Amino acid sequence: MPSETERTFVLTVEAVKRSLDTLVALKAHENLAGYLCLLFTANSVGTPSELRPDFKGFFELFLKVGGTSSRKPYLLPFRARADAQSLLFNANVAGSYAPSSLRPVSPLRQLINIQGASRTVTYSLLDGHVATARRMLLHGGQIPVCALAAFLYRDFGIVAEGRPTATALIESLIDDFGYALEISPGAAFPSNGLFKDDSLVYREADFREFDAESP
């Protein structure tokens, strides 16, 4: 629960649309979603090794959208193509990220070590995974941190002291994904890191105070 000095905000529709357009423009490889899931899992358990990621749960939490079919219920902005249909991802998330589906040439396989089989399978992030992810998934680029946060947290409340700022977005993202990236809220983003700072693009007008009684 927010403290007496904190308020809960949500992003405006316009801000979320802008974040989606920014991410789509990256033309990132679709495996970026699986990599983010591994970072999220590593952050949750406090280790980058022997992870048991819930890919389906991650997609349900961050990527599921309304108004789609049960066959393709997820919106995935990490695609080489940018038409509306190509941004939708199929319901069989677990199967897509199963070891049998990730071929040796898959970009994600260059970032991880997979051990075990079936229900005992684990995924470990390899040393230097950030540099490899930038090369294999982002064409050598970086992810605009606020754009990613605005998209992932579009259905979540953002807690902030006083007026909302991009800092609240960044802190939420780093709290959830920062462990395996060795970054923490308030730290500067390194030029060789996964994220780049786009905080100047997001202003107070991109937030509105959450009202539980509003539709």
Q: Report the 10 Å Cβ neighbour count for 121.
A: 15
Considering the domain architecture, whether residues 131 and 48 belong to the same structural domain is answered as yes
Q: What is the pLDDT of residue 214?
A: 52
End-of-domain residue from the set 113, 139, 165? 139
Considering the domain architecture, whether residues 44 and 108 belong to the same structural domain is answered as yes
Distance CA 153, CA 165 (A): 14
Q: How many domains does the chain have?
A: 2
Q: What is the pLDDT of residue 83?
A: 61
**Residue 155: closest CA among 8, 34, 44:** 8
Structure tokens that stand for 189 in this block: 């983003």
Output the tens digit of pLDDT for each of the chain's 215 residues.
455 567 889 999 999 999 999 999 999 999 999 999 999 999 999 999 999 999 999 999 999 998 888 999 999 999 877 665 688 999 999 999 999 899 889 999 999 999 987 778 999 999 999 999 999 999 999 999 999 999 999 999 888 777 788 888 899 999 999 999 988 877 788 999 999 999 999 988 999 887 655 55
Considering the domain architecture, whether residues 199 and 164 belong to the same structural domain is answered as yes
End-of-domain residue from the set 120, 139, 158? 139
Considering the domain architecture, whether residues 62 and 110 belong to the same structural domain is answered as yes
Considering the domain architecture, whether residues 94 and 128 belong to the same structural domain is answered as yes
**Residue 118: closest CA among 55, 52, 56:** 52
Which secondary-structure segment (H or E) carries 18?
Answer: helix 13-25
Ramachandran angles phi, psi of 113, nearest 5°: -115, 130
Considering the domain architecture, whether residues 166 and 199 belong to the same structural domain is answered as yes
End-of-domain residue from the set 139, 156, 176? 139
Sign of CA dihedral 198, 211, 174, 90: negative
Q: What is the pLDDT of residue 84?
A: 56
Q: Which residues contact 185 (CB under 8 A, 6 or more apart)?
A: 170, 171, 174, 175, 178
Considering the domain architecture, whether residues 77 and 98 belong to the same structural domain is answered as yes
Q: What is the pLDDT of residue 211?
A: 67
Considering the domain architecture, whether residues 20 and 36 belong to the same structural domain is answered as no
Distance CA 65, CA 73 (A): 6
Work out the end-to-end distance of the chain between its first and last CA atoms, rounded to an integer number of angstroms: 21
Considering the domain architecture, whether residues 32 and 123 belong to the same structural domain is answered as yes
Considering the domain architecture, whether residues 134 and 40 belong to the same structural domain is answered as yes
Considering the domain architecture, whether residues 87 and 34 belong to the same structural domain is answered as yes
Considering the domain architecture, whether residues 95 and 110 belong to the same structural domain is answered as yes
What is the residue range of 159's domain?
1-26+141-215
